[in-house]
Amino acid sequence: MRNKYLLRGIVFLFLLTLLPFAAMAEASASPNEDIKVLSESQTGYSSIRSAAVLGDTVYVLNPEGIYSWLSGQAAFTLAASHNQLEQLSLPEEERKPTISILLSDGQQLWGMDGSNARLFTLDISGGELVFGEPVSLQMQDRTQTYETDAGVEHSYMDMPEQALLMNGQLYCLFNNYQNNTQNRTLMSYDIATGEAASYDSEFITGIAAYKDGKLLVSVRDEDNSYDPATSAFVPTALGVFDPQSDTIEEIGTFADLNAGNMGMGMTIKYEKDKDAVLYLIGNGVVRRLPDGTEEKCAYLPTREFWGGTGDKMPLLPDGRVALCVGDTMHVRSTNPADLPATSLVIYGGEENNAHKAALQNMPDVSVTALQNKWFSSAQELGQALVSGEDGIDILFIETGWMDVANLLVKGYAADLSASPVFQEHMDKLYPQMKEVGMQDGKILALPVRLNIESMSLNSKAFAKLGMPLPATYGEVCQSVKTFYEEHAQEGEYNINMQTGSGWLKDLLLSTYTDYMAYKGEEMTLDTPLFRQMAEALASVNTQLMDDDEVDFSNNEDMNEFFQRPTLFTQGYSFDLQSYEYFLNRPDGNDMSAPDMFFGMKADQDAPPVVKGSAVVMIINSQSKNMDAALRYAENYIKGLDALSKVTFYPGENEPIINPDHERVVANFSQQLAAMKVALEKAEGAEKTEMEATIKQMEENFAQYNEYGKFLASTAAIAAYRQLMENSYIATYKTNMLMSQQDLSELRERYFGGQLSLDQFIQESDAKLRLIRLENQ
Amino acid sequence: MFTKKKSLWLFLLPGLAGLMVFYLVPFIGGIYYSLTDGTIQNNIVGFANYQRIWQNEVFRLGLKNSLELSLISAPLIFVLSFLLSVMLRSLGRASLPFRNILLMPYLVPTSAMLIVWTLLFDYGGIINRLSVWLGAGRVLWLESHMLRVPVVLLYVWKNIGFSIIIFSAALQSVPEEFYEFARLEGAGAWKQETRITLPLILPTAFLVFVLAWVNAFKIFKEVYFIGGAYPNEAVYTLQHYMNNKFAMLDYQDVTTAAYSFAVIVLVLFGILYARKGVRGVE
């Protein structure tokens, strides 16, 4: 008896000890999850195209098949394989239907084949995809046709932007860009017969299933969405659409004027239990309650919800929403209490890999970009930081266009010196990059982006014309003169990607500015070098260049222009990824593209200087979320991708292999195989056209196979390092001659002939002197 | 119970509150900023800012130009408006349309006038075309030190009407008998105006001079519109210095320059005001 009670006591104590673990498990089950589609491809090719909810399961469609996910699972599982590219290689009679959009009516999964306007049921219960009998949809009016240069007519079907199944009808919202309007058309198709019904109700931008056979719709005339009188967007209305009467009853408006402003319509969803409407805006989901009040209820780590068709925001049975971006589904609670307690506001950032890496490591912080705000000067930015009205925590600022140094001196930037992550980053940087972030030995700004602006040209075009390659500004002027004297009349070449004489005039000032900035000298124009360069420009008949200007609004002129090879290829920046292609592309390909990048010399004795434009990340010294801001910045730096590291750190010289190269090659092969199968059945002009297309594809394939292996090859890195040897980072001060308004006006007057060179030099130097002395 | 005194303060309260909030508080706050280092932490550095800007060549240039422009413009307005007022007085009722015409420029927005002025004095403008037609060369009115000429002309033209109104009102208060006696004694027009008119309207004349001078110090927007933030050195004023410093977030330099200038102006006016006749004290 005593033993029985002892045993019960031991079991009780044992169960008691399990309680904390149970509580921990309960606490750690986060309402917010990010679920990836795990497939062989690492970038883009497993992108989710469409999603649908059936019961407790979320199904997503990607090029490889249909994946499923149940709440609690760590990843998607392949429910049924259906590689649509592989299907194209099969004879037509053996091919399974294409699935463009995955849909659910709550009872059944459906697939829509957008190319052939068919709808069919889908059954994947057995692990194999079983297609129901397809119903042909009357979508003839959504067929678009075009004729190729070979005179072959092709047609394609418009894909709906949004689609949903309700009460035996497939409702589709189509865009009408081909009719030069931003407004959309709502159609419905009977799922049993395919019969189409069109509606006169206008300006619908989003649809969601409602009740009593009606739809919830968002409404706004997108062609007139901006009201100049108020300098704001017109509010988007919320309405109830009755398909029977083809009428919309407006029941209110959405509070945020930016709702639906990305040109992608509005993503809305009806929440039955709360009689509320959920809508997607920016990187959040907002709930609009029946009384019109709104509350943010979900935070998303990205704004990039560009793609996806069908149901863009499936609602799960537990009230959470699921949004798909790339190969990831973001499942989010719509309970405002589950929103991250901390938030960061970022000005000037972009959603690059480092940003995404930072967000991945801090799901407990809501990171939002400051919308609809642009600070054109350090003064405006400083006032905003002092007043705190925008609550900016982190800033990304380009050093060439805003006086970052002044912001640092004035104490607007937090001291980041204590962080070993930042210290390591700064120590590895090019010295000229490190300099822009340091002040009195402290790390106040982190360089996180760098673009270099080098001169570029097409050396093969120069060789064909028998012209020497220029290295100095004077030699560029001579090249222009020679071109117009000897070759322009033939009309077979362009002198530059930019027409007119503006580029040559700007090049005078930019080359001289780069030279002075690189040497670290105070800017003055009263030097023999500048006069020599100005005289070289004066010797060119710029009127001939201006007469040669092309009207790029005229399609015919523009096409003709781009058919011709070009000598100077300004507009192309050096790019690690494209370098090999530019250097080694076959003769005759892309004759407007460069094959040589170099720094422009002011004269023979000057170094070939290259200007770098850097963006720095600054943490607001008055930020109320300093810890979170520091975490973000550290995660950002740690998340810099391999290409960025090669760009910033002179010690990183290992070539970067393209992780997607094999997959792309495999895809290319599949596409070629599919084309060849289709070629066997083609005849006449269509066959000729297909043969030409296949030939071009094979050439592109060979090119990619050869040069697509690396994101940055050894040769590209070496070329980049050489350019960086004589580089400097542009700052507000060094850009003064090109950007300061008074100096710009003087420049215009000089180039317009209103000022002589001496007057221009005298007046410019006087202004530069004033600017310099003011700051002493 | 409300006494007279209490009622007085009650009625004054709203105005005083506005004065406090929009004048006194910023005035004292400005002094504070002039004693800080200009960083967001606002560390006190004492009079270091005053020492530094007085050593700055550009600050002194701006101050010099502001004083010069005011010393050219204010006397011009004073003399011209006095002479015109006297002429208008002699016309009697017929002076009304002329007075209105002279007042018109005061009512026209400066920006509109600047556009016209720019067209007139531009390199290819009417003045230069006239100059070329007459055989002389073009002048860089808007880009060189010659910008002073159109700026002063614009200032005088715009503000002369207001001064005429003030002078005209003052002239009406001078008894006609004094001029009759003076004529009988053989005094000419010059003696009448300098020995009778001016002494009797000295307080008003002082007011006109003060207003003209204060407004002349504010010559900035005209130059800024034409010459930008960094015009020719001859027209770079103290306001340019302050404006540019504000744009560079150097609030401490802005306030330091402003208070330095305020002290100079106070001293100068104090000296003038100390003269009995100016105060109208017998």
Of A303 and A720, the structure prediction assigns the larger pLDDT to A720
Of A749 and B279, the structure prediction assigns the larger pLDDT to A749
pLDDT of A535: 97
- State how many domains chain B has: 1
In a domain, B15, yes or no: no
Task: Check pLDDT > 70 for residue A703.
Answer: yes
In a domain, B50, yes or no: no
Alpha-carbon distance B275 to B265, whole Å?
A: 16
3-state secondary structure of A376: coil
ipTM, 2 dp: 0.82
Task: Check pLDDT > 90 for residue A172.
Answer: yes
pLDDT of A46: 63
Which residues of chain A have a CB within 8 Å of the CB of B232?
763, 766
Task: Check pLDDT > 90 for residue A469.
Answer: yes
The band of A173, judged by pLDDT with boundaries at 50, 70 and 90, is very high
Q: What is the CATH number of the domain that holds B124?
A: 1.10.3720.10
To the nearest whole Å, the CA of A233 is away from the closest chain B CA by 31
Residue from B57, B65, B143 whose CB has the most chain A CBs within 10 Å, to mutate: B143
Q: Dump pLDDT digits (tens) for A102-139.
A: 999 999 999 999 888 999 999 987 778 889 999 999 99
The band of B5, judged by pLDDT with boundaries at 50, 70 and 90, is confident
Q: Helix and strand tally (H, E) in chain A?
A: 22, 43
Q: Dump pLDDT digits (tens) for A264-281.
A: 788 999 999 999 999 998
Q: Quick check: B58 and A773 CB within 8 A?
A: yes
pLDDT of A721: 97
Q: Quick check: B143 and A742 CB within 8 A?
A: no
Q: CB within 8 A of A348, min separation 6: which ones?
A: A395, A396, A397, A615
Q: Quick check: A773 and B124 CB within 8 A?
A: no
pLDDT of A95: 76
Which residues of chain A have a CB within 8 Å of the CB of B140?
755, 759
The band of A301, judged by pLDDT with boundaries at 50, 70 and 90, is confident
In a domain, B141, yes or no: yes
Long-range contacts of A340-343 (CB under 8 A, 24+ apart): A340/A299, A340/A364, A340/A365, A340/A366, A342/A366, A342/A625, A342/A628, A343/A367, A343/A368, A343/A625, A343/A628
Rg of chain B (C-alpha set) = 23
- How much is the average pLDDT of A566-592? 81
Q: Dump pLDDT digits (tens) for A19-39.
A: 544 444 444 457 888 888 766
Q: Quick check: A741 and B229 CB within 8 A?
A: yes
Residue B147 main-chain phi, psi, to 5 deg: -60, -20
Which structure tokens are listed for A74? 């760590």
Partner-chain residue, chosen from B40, B140, B230, that has the shortest CB–CB distance to A767: B230
Judged by average pLDDT, the poorest of A209-218, A238-247, A384-393 is A384-393
* Tokens 């798909």 belong to residue: A324
In a domain, B242, yes or no: yes
A contact set with B (CB within 8 A): 377-379, 382, 385-386, 403, 406-407, 409-412, 621-622, 740-742, 745-746, 749, 754-755, 759, 763, 766-767, 770-771, 773-776
pLDDT of A427: 97
Full residue range of the structural domain in which residue B118 is found: 59-279
pLDDT of A24: 47
Alpha-carbon distance A671 to A693, whole Å?
A: 12
Task: Check pLDDT > 60 for residue B188.
Answer: yes
pLDDT of A48: 87
Convert A69-97 to b/e letters by CB count within 10 Å (16 or more is b).
beeeeeebebbbebebbbbbbeeeeeeeb
In a domain, B247, yes or no: yes
Partner-chain residue, chosen from B39, B56, B231, that has the shortest CB–CB distance to A776: B56
To the nearest whole Å, the CA of A423 is away from the closest chain B CA by 24
pLDDT of A45: 56
Q: Quick check: B57 and A776 CB within 8 A?
A: yes
Q: Quick check: A746 and B144 CB within 8 A?
A: no
Q: Quick check: A386 and B123 CB within 8 A?
A: no
Mean of the per-residue pLDDT values for chain A? 88
In a domain, B110, yes or no: yes
Nearest chain A residue to B56 by CA: give it: A776
Q: Quick check: A774 and B241 CB within 8 A?
A: yes
Which structure tokens are listed for A134? 């397809």
Return the amino acid letter for A112: M
Nearest chain A residue to B236 by CA: give it: A770
pLDDT of B281: 45
In a domain, B6, yes or no: no
The band of A43, judged by pLDDT with boundaries at 50, 70 and 90, is very low
Q: What is the DSSP letter of B196?
A: I
Q: Quick check: B228 and A741 CB within 8 A?
A: yes
A·B CB contacts under 8 A = 68
Inter-axis angle of helices B202-217 and B148-172, nearest 10: 160
Partner-chain residue, chosen from A621, A622, A742, that has the shortest CB–CB distance to B230: A742
Q: Dump pLDDT digits (tens) for A344-368.
A: 999 999 989 999 999 988 988 999 8
- pTM of the predicted structure, to 2 decimals: 0.84
Q: Dump pLDDT digits (tens) for A518-534.
A: 999 999 999 999 999 99
Residue from B230, B242, B252 whose CB has the most chain A CBs within 10 Å, to mutate: B230
To the nearest whole Å, the CA of A287 is away from the closest chain B CA by 39
Alpha-carbon distance A569 to A298, whole Å?
A: 47
Task: Check pLDDT > 80 for residue B222.
Answer: yes
Judged by average pLDDT, the poorest of A160-164, A496-500, A630-634, B189-193 is B189-193
Q: What percent of chain A has pLDDT over 90?
A: 56
* Tokens 């260049």 belong to residue: A545
Closest-CA residue to A346 (of A613, A614, A615, A612): A615
Partner-chain residue, chosen from B41, B143, B241, that has the shortest CB–CB distance to A411: B41
Residue B211 main-chain phi, psi, to 5 deg: -60, -45
Return the amino acid letter for B249: L
To the nearest whole Å, the CA of A410 is away from the closest chain B CA by 4
Task: Check pLDDT > 80 for residue B277.
Answer: no
- How much is the average pLDDT of A143-155? 75
Which structure tokens are listed for A303? 């704004």
In a domain, B173, yes or no: yes
Q: Quick check: B228 and A745 CB within 8 A?
A: yes
Alpha-carbon distance B282 to B276, whole Å?
A: 7
Which structure tokens are listed for A341? 């307690």
Task: Check pLDDT > 70 for residue A261.
Answer: no
pLDDT of A649: 97
The band of A249, judged by pLDDT with boundaries at 50, 70 and 90, is very high
